[in-house]
Structure 1
Amino acid sequence: AITQGGAKRSEDFKPGLLAKVLCRLFPSKGSISGWHSMQALIDAEGGMRVLIAVICGFAAKCVGVSGVFYRMAGEQARLIDDVTGTMPPYDKHIVYGPHNPSKVAEEITRGTGAFGAAVADVNDLKRSCVLGVSKGVNADEVAQILIDNPFGNGSQKTPVVVIKNYRRAR
C-alpha cells in the first residue's frame, strides 16, 4: 500500500465531529480508534456508510453477532493501519490498504519469476487475511501458513516474506 501512495501523514487529516465521536467506540488497540485513522476511514468509505455500519454493528453485538461493522463499513475498515501499526519511516502516517492486490501479486510473480505471490494482511493477534494472489496460489492455504505470524510482523514490522517450498507443500 505504501508503494502505491497509500500513506498519508496524520496531520494531513482534519478529523470532524463524526470521526471524533465514532473512534471512541472502538478498542484502543484497534487501528480506527484514533481521530485521524477514523477520519481516514470516513474519507475512504463515506461518513454515512461508516455511521450505518457502527449502528448495525452495535445492534448485532447486542445479540451476540460479531464483525458486522467490518463487513458493512467497507474494505478499508479492516485494512487501515494507524501510526502504531506502521513501520518507519511511515510510523507517523495512516496507511490505507493496497489497491488491486491480485494484480500486484501477478506483477510480483512475473517480475521475480517465482512460483506465485500473495498480498496479505497478517498480525500477531492470530489474524491472517489474504487480499490477493497470483494464479496457482491458494489464498486459504497461504492464510493458514501465516495465521501464527511465523515471520514476526509484530514489533519487527516484516513487510515482505518468502514462503519456501509452497508448491511442494501442496
Structure 2
Amino acid sequence: MDVPYDEEAHKRPREIEVDGARFERIPIKTHVVLPGEPLDPVIETYALEHLEDGDWLFMTEKMVAGSQGRAYPVAETKARPLAVWLSKRVVRTSTGIGLGIPETMEWAIREVGTPRILLAAAVSVVSKRLFNRTGDFYRVTGPKARGIDGPGYPTIPPYDEMVVLTAAKPRQTSQHVRDLLAGHGKKVDVFLVDINDLGGNVLGSTTDKATEKLVGRVLRDNPIGQGHESTPLGIIRRVA
C-alpha cells in the first residue's frame, strides 16, 4: 500500500542548525514495510541511491521492529486479567496510548515479566501517594515496555491495528545495515531512532554516544512525520 505524502499535514524545515553547524534532513519515502518483510531490500531499494559518503542514515524503530516480526494484531492478542486491571490504572503518555489498553499491557508483561510489572505498579502507587509523582511505572518497567506502540490514528495501516514492540538488537541491526551499505561502496553511519513530535531518541547506532545525542537534537522536531507520510528512512547530511 503506497500512501501519498501529506505535505500540508506535516511541514518541517529541511535544514536545522545545531551547535553552529547546519544539517540537512532528507526524508525517504518507501512503501509500507509489512511485518516480517526483510529489511535489506528496503534499504537497497530506497536509501542506496540517495546516500553520499559521510552521510548519516536513520531508520525508524517501528519500521525495523515490524521487519523483525515484532508487530502483533490487537485482535489476536489475548490479555490476561492482570493486564486488563493494570491498563486501567497507568497514566497514558502524551505520545499515544502507551500501556493504557489491555493488549499493550499484555505485551509489556510478556516482554519484561510479571515480577517487574508488579514491582513497577507498587512503586508507582507509593510515589504517587507520597510525592504526587507520575511516570514511575514506565521508568521501572524500562525501555522494552516504555517503547511499546499501540494501535490507532495516526499510525499507518496495518500498524494502526497492531501492537508494535521495541526493535531487537538496535546496535547490531545498525551495524548490519552499515555493512550492507559498505558492500555497495557507501561509507555512512547508521542510526536506529525513536522519534515523535515530542523529540528524538537514538536507540542504537554505529557511532559513539556523543554523536547519538547530536543526532537526537538534529531530529528533535520530527522532520519525517508521525503518521501517513510513509517516510521511515531519512538522511542527515552536514551542509555547513
Instruction: State the TM-score bracket (shorter-chain normalisation).
Output: 0.7 to 0.9
Q: Distance in 1 between matches of 2:162 and 2:187?
A: 31
1:9-158 counterparts in 2 under 5 A?
9-25=73-89, 26-27=91-92, 29-62=96-129, 63-84=131-152, 86-112=155-181, 113-124=186-197, 126-135=198-207, 138-156=211-229, 158=231
Aligned residues: 166
Counterpart amino acid of residue 108 in structure 2: L
Q: Provide TM-score, normalisation by structure 1.
A: 0.85
Q: Is 1:160 matched up with 2:225?
A: no
Gaps of 5+ in 2: 1-64
Question: 1:37-87: CA deviations, max 9, x gaps?
Answer: 111111111122112102212322441545432221132221111112643
Q: Distance in 1 between matches of 2:188 and 2:227?
A: 27
Between the aligned residues of both structures, percent identity stands at 29
Residue 204 of structure 2: SS of its match in structure 1?
A: strand
Q: Which moved more, 1:24-33 or 1:38-47?
A: 24-33
Q: Which moved more, 1:63-72 or 1:52-61?
A: 63-72
Q: In 1, are the aligned partners of 2:87 and 2:105 still within 8 Å (CA)?
A: yes
Indicate the structure whose relative CO is greater, using CA pairs within 8 Å and at least 6 residues apart.
2
Q: Which moved more, 1:88-97 or 1:154-163?
A: 154-163
Residue 166 of structure 2: SS of its match in structure 1?
A: coil
Greater fraction helix: 1
Q: Distance in 2 between matches of 1:19 and 1:136?
A: 37
Q: Provide TM-score, normalisation by structure 2.
A: 0.62
Question: 1:86-139: CA deviations, max 9, x gaps?
Answer: 432232211100011011111122222242011111111x13221001136711
Gaps of 5+ in 1: none
Structure ID, larger Rg: 2
Runs (4+) of structure 1 exceeding 4 A deviation are none
Aligned-residue RMSD, C-alpha: 2.2
Question: 1:22-49: CA deviations, max 9, x gaps?
Answer: 1112327422111111111111111221
Per the TM alignment, residue 153 of structure 1 is displaced from its structure 2 partner at its CA by 2.2
Q: 1:151 to 1:4 in 2, by over 3 A?
A: same
